[in-house]
Structure 1
């Protein structure tokens, strides 16, 4: 009897733990949640909250937010006020907009999702851990915090694009503008699944060796000759990351890479050029 009383006491303590009380109601039995990032989400800094309804009743979800100390605020639905209903045995992906990163937090944080769930005509907020099976959040946090440190020394931007006739390289212009407050080296730029570099060998990275010293006053402009990496039409039609380039950087003795997007307007011009260059443009 004493042993049973002890077990009951421990069970009661666990049920009434401060963490459980703070998080409040949880997901219905059989419902699972995960975080994913699709290739199409990267440029817009979005992600997907995937809900799998393994229960025996429909699940209706209104407001959604993902809370994670690695971000400066919650990630919320990309389309506000939308409501999703998941049938028993069904799955739904809810797109959320990621806020800026908080670089004071470590990379190995944990995410929780807060959902507005409607059952029996009553809306309740439930909280659940949000596993990230591919670890994209930690990678994104590390990459963007490195970029933040890089841009303390120099601003990076693609500032121009000159298309070309078929068989002739086009020109992509990269501008590195020193802030005078730090030093950084832009060692190279990697090809994408859509864009290669003219005259490149089998190496996937083109050397740049742009060195910015503390106090440097003038922008550095580099003209990069580019050609399509592939010429099948679906490479353009299904493009997700073809105009997001990896830049290899060296900063304070540390080597890494940061991502730099050409921007939506320039992306459209580059895709049009690839189609014309390859001979399948309209």
Structure 2
């Protein structure tokens, strides 16, 4: 009997040692916030900036990033040694965000790390000082509402000199009536002429016709090399649950190819 008890205790000890460390409060000074690199503005590429404000090195090995606007967490594993007084950034590929459902946005990071000679696990609240994640999940919600509200179609383009134009038709589906189009947004390489609405209020429960009146934006090799948006024109909408949501229009590949040909020919690149 004593042998069985000793074996059971040994197995429990081994199981406890082989599992994840127990969650403890993070050391004072370990903080995190959502950021987005300048060159990735208007894309889905974001990062978690982690600052080690303690007096010892923090060696990160795992991160589980959670938000009440995501259906699943984002997981990362690797090795990031962050010296005292320094910081690091971990790139994140966020899942599609849900609608707010009346709740404020929350973000938390569950870190596994080594600190002061021992492995720890702590949950750190993540701030969103520039509204990067808020804009992203609100945009996901707005795009879903837009897709539910209307069918989008774009007519054949017309090209005259330095102008590319095509008619946009927004046909109500009848599935929802609370979506209002607030305007379209150009990109770095493609600008809009005066006939494309950038500041409007169009009720999408009624059929709407717009004009994509595209002119040349910036035209040089550096812009082309740094461009992360391309032909993804932006759209801004308001819904019953969100005052302002920004997302990119889902243009067909033939429309994108026509725009790229127009740009390349006019820029001679």
Is this a same-fold pair by TM over 0.5? yes
Q: Which residue of 2 aligns with 1:169?
A: 163
CA distance in 2, matches of 1:149, 1:221: 19
Per the normalisation by structure 2, the TM-score is 0.69
SS in 2 for 1:180: coil
Unmatched runs of 5 consecutive residues or more in structure 2: 1-21
1:46-87 CA distances to partner (integer Å, 9 max, x unpaired)? 32111122334332212212222122222334xxx4332223
1:205 lines up with 2:198 in the alignment: yes
User: Whole-Å Cα distance in 1 between the matches of residues 186 and 69 of structure 2?
Assistant: 29
Partner of 1:125: 121
1:159-207 CA-partner distances (Å, limit 9, x unpaired): 6896969x43234675645433234554642323332124x28x97277
* Structure 1: distance between partners of 2:152 and 2:75: 28
In the comparison of the two structures, how many residue pairs are matched? Answer: 246
Q: What SS is found at the alignment partner of 2:127?
A: coil
The equivalences for 1:192-231 within 5 A come to: 192-198=187-193, 200=194, 205=198, 211-213=204-206, 224-231=212-219
Match of 2:173 among 166, 179, 185: 179
1:257–1:44 distance in 2 versus 1, CA, 3 Å: closer
Q: Any idea what SS the aligned residue of 1:235 has?
A: helix
Equivalence for 1:12? none
* Correspondent of 1:112 among 108, 111, 117: 108
The question of whether the paired residues in 2 share the 8 Å contact of 1:31 and 1:53 is answered with yes
Query: Given the alignment of the two structures, is residue 260 of structure 1 paired with residue 213 of structure 2, yes or no?
Result: no
From the superposition, tell whether residues 120 and 273 of structure 1 become closer, same or farther in structure 2 (CA, over 3 Å): farther
Distance in 2 between residues matched to 1:176 and 1:82, nearest whole Å = 46
The CA deviation at 1:128 is 0.8
Match of 2:18 in 1: none
Normalising by structure 1, report the TM-score.
Answer: 0.66
Kindly provide the CA deviation profile for residues 123-142 of structure 1, in whole angstroms up to 9, marking residues without a partner as x: 43211111111123333333
Deviations 1:11-54 (A, max 9, x none): xxxxxxxxxxxx93233343322111335555552321111223
Unaligned runs of 5+ in 1: 1-22
Distance 2:201 2:63 in 1: 43
CA contact (8 A) 2:39 2:226 kept: no
Aligned to 2:64: 65
Between 35-44 and 143-152, the greater mean CA deviation after superposition: 35-44
